[in-house]
Amino acid sequence: GDSVTQMEGPVTLSEEAFLTINCTYTATGYPSLFWYVQYPGEGLQLLLKATKADDKGSNKGFEATYRKETTSFHLEKGSVQVSDSAVYFCALSDNAGNMLTFGGGTRLMVKP
């Protein structure tokens, strides 16, 4: 079945540091890929998405590129802020777009 693997956290960075959170997946067909973010005490929110190979999703300074050859969708940000502290989830959808499979989540802590 489908699966998503992402790097374990927590990831601790200083403000303005570069962020990479790795995500790889296993899936049949051509899934869409997502990054969701969960701020403390809240539900998950969609951060960005990519629906086909070589697509780049971007939002709020975060980017991720759908790499079919390496089955990866790594999340990057050039300069993190304290307000980016949250848990980040990589996810993929089934071909029909109805079901999401999530990775285990990576907690990011940004220190001033």
Which parts of this chain interact with other proteins (CB under 8 A)?
Answer: 4, 8, 32, 34, 41-46, 49, 51, 89, 93, 97-100, 102-105
How many Å from the N-terminal Cα to the C-terminal Cα in the chain? 41
Least distance between other proteins and beta carbon 97 (Å): 5
Residue number with CB closer to other proteins (21 or 44): 44
The CA-CA-CA angle for residues 27, 32, 38, to 5°, reads 105
Least distance between other proteins and beta carbon 84 (Å): 19
Least distance between other proteins and beta carbon 32 (Å): 5
Taking the C-alpha atoms of residue 53 and residue 10, their distance in angstroms, rounded to an integer, is 29
Residue number with CB closer to other proteins (42 or 69): 42
Least distance between other proteins and beta carbon 77 (Å): 21
**Residue 89 · residue 105 · CB < 8 Å:** yes
Residue number with CB closer to other proteins (4 or 19): 4
**Residue 46 · residue 29 · CB < 8 Å:** no
Residue number with CB closer to other proteins (17 or 22): 22
Peptide bond preceding 31: is omega within 30 degrees of 0, i.e. cis? no
